[in-house]
Amino acid sequence: MNAPITIAGSLNMDFVVQVERLPQPGETVLGGGFVTLPGGKGANQACAAGRLGGRVRMLGRVGDDVFGRQLVESLARAGVDTSTVRVSAATASGVALIFVETGGQNQIVVASGANGLLSPEDVEMELAAGEGLLLVQLETPLATTERAVALASRRGMTVVLDPAPARPLSDALLAQVSLLTPNESEAMVLLERRGASVSLAEAPEIARALLKRGPRGVILKLGEKGAFLADGSGGQHFPGFEVTAVDATAAGDAFAGALGVALAEGRPIAEAIPFANAAAALSVTRLGAQASMPSRPEVDALLASRPRS
């Protein structure tokens, strides 16, 4: 089994600057290395899934510019079907400005550009005969994400929602989601609570509170602590992998793409989450978003290195 994976979302060119520490409000700091790298949450997830052997197509928009062409070419090299990436002639491609400090933490500002033009009509046309899985995020208009989720849910597709960047979402939307995959800070926003971190002891309660909002399952991403699953059968913690972090950018996207591939292959969720944890762990050991996405042999090797309990 290798079900198709459709990813509706953003494509951005990332401008990445390495810094010793992240700036405070109003502060200027001197940066080190600078690179431009393909990114965007939707495209990152598509790249991750493509490199891991998934049957992936990308729904999105880019500008008629050099960045747009580079973004499409990057996905094509990862084996992603880009025939449904549309070109918006009058709008620039999306860009993200990223500061990465020693240790891997980052600050990101996104200028959406053509991503803001991805419309409900775009996804309605492309999901007319939907099957398999749909992966969505929140870097494109919310109305478009809502339409995509509604269409996919009606057609019986597995819908995985990565609620990033964090924003409030309706119960009506969440009730149509198969798996909700927030990180700690995103979970707190969805629950209208303060704080940006969740301890392992707090994870079961947070995940169950999100489950009550409607999704059929919740995977709470806990960074180096791994992930906690809450669904109708109960809850379970899946430990992370110990690695040396260089850049945390797109770790959540690596997780999402890998999770989609594992589910598309028919793996049970208890196998899919460790697979996704391994992909995310490998991604933080390298600089960049799509440039950091691991290959299938790398993920399989990391999984095999962990003793079976």
The CATH number of the domain holding residue 239 is 3.40.1190.20
Please report, as a single letter, which amino acid is at residue 130.
G
Q: Is residue 106 part of a domain?
A: no
Residue 108, SS3 per DSSP = strand
162: annotated active-site residue? no
**Which residues constitute the domain of residue 254?**
4-9+40-93+115-305
Angle (deg, nearest 10), helices 269-283 and 251-264: 150
Residues 267, 275 contacting (CB under 8 angstroms): yes
Q: Which of 135-149, 172-186, 236-250 is the least confident region?
A: 236-250
Task: Write down the H helix ranges in 128-238.
Answer: 142-154, 171-174, 184-190, 203-211
The pLDDT tens digits of the residues spanning 23-64 come to 999 999 998 889 898 999 999 999 999 999 999 999 999 999
pLDDT score recorded for residue 173: 98
Tell me how far apart the alpha carbons of residues 64 and 78 are, in angstroms, rounded to a whole number: 21
Residue 27: exposure state from Cβ atoms within 10 A (0-12, 13-18, ≥19): exposed
Q: How far apart are CA 148 and CA 143, in angstroms?
A: 9
Top-confidence residue, 102 or 19:
19
Neighbours of 35 (CB within 10 A): 13
> 165 lies in a domain?
yes
Instruction: Assess if residue 62 is contained within a domain.
Output: yes
pLDDT surpassing 90 at residue 106: no
The answer to whether position 108 is within a domain reads no
Q: Is 123 within the bounds of a domain? A: yes
Is 299 part of a structural domain of the chain? Answer: yes
- The answer to whether position 269 is within a domain reads yes
Does residue 27 sit within a domain? Answer: no
Cα separation, 57 vs 261, in Å, equals 12
Q: What angle do the packed helices 296-305 and 269-283 form, to 10 degrees?
A: 110
236 three-state secondary structure = strand
Beta carbons of 249 and 43 less than 8 angstroms apart: no
Q: How far is CA 275 from the centre of its chain?
A: 15
The number of distinct structural domains making up the chain is: 1
Does a cis peptide bond (omega within 30 degrees of 0) precede residue 165?
yes
Partners of 38 in beta bridges:
13
Q: Which of 65, 162, 253, 300 is catalytic?
A: 253
Q: How do residues 253-296 score in pLDDT, each as one tens digit?
A: 999 999 999 999 999 999 999 999 999 999 999 888 898 999 99
Do the Cβ atoms of 8 and 42 come closer than 8 Å?
A: yes
